[in-house]
Amino acid sequence: MKPTKPISEWRNIFLDTSVIIDFLQKPEKFGKNPPVQKRIEFVHQIMAILGSGNSGNGSRRFYVSAITVAELKHLQRPHTTKDIVNIFNGADVMFIDFTKDIALLLNNSLEKNLSSDQIKQWKANLVAAKLSDDQHVSARQWISDDMKIIASVKAVKNIDVVLTCDHKTFKPITDRFEVPCLTMNEEEFPHDMFGAINQSGLF
């Protein structure tokens, strides 16, 4: 699902783990992998735009799930929360706990949209997609975490956009839950006549 507001009017922005991981990377380290380097450079470009000032509706607020903090700690970053706060240069950052209410919201959202058999098949398809992308991850746990993050997004209610680098599994889950989401792919963003990101353009 595409966001309904242009970048200039984004006020509440939820970041998936994949975006934060890329933003903590230095693009020049990926010179031997041009597609990854290009994606990381674009993440830095978008984050620079979002951190450059206020939106049309006032100050921007960034949301990060507690699940993301746990995932980053699993990647052996000892100062995870500090790292996340630092990358926003003092901007307003909210950390969202995965609570019992959010767990119930996740369960209710699935039951509302899918039958039990459909849920099983859908999860199986997502696992297959994740495994085809990386044989070394725990695909089922990864997808479970993605779903928890997206349930946290829905609990916030006023999110303008979720940003992710994961088009294989995270983006399809947001589409299923009808959450406004963009992958960090330059082709998904509006451009002006000079090829720059058009912050007033509609998606």
- Asked if residue 43 has pLDDT above 90, the reply is yes
pLDDT of residue 139: 43
* CA quadruple 185, 182, 150, 171: dihedral, nearest 10: -60
pLDDT of residue 119: 52
Fold of 9-188: Rossmann fold (3.40.50)
Angstrom distance (rounded) from CA 88 to CA 43: 13
Provide the mean pLDDT of the chain.
79
104-158 pLDDT, tens digit per residue, is 666 666 556 555 555 555 555 555 554 455 544 444 455 578 878 888 888 887 8
pLDDT band of 178, cuts 50, 70, 90: confident
Q: Rounded to the nearest 5°, which phi and psi values hold at 60?
A: -85, 150
- Asked if residue 162 has pLDDT above 80, the reply is yes
49-88 pLDDT, tens digit per residue, is 998 755 555 688 999 988 888 777 766 555 556 666 676 6
Q: Among candidates 179, 181, 183, which has minimal Cα distance to 157?
A: 179
143, containing H or E segment? helix 139-156
pLDDT of residue 136: 42
Longest pairwise C-alpha distance within the chain: 49
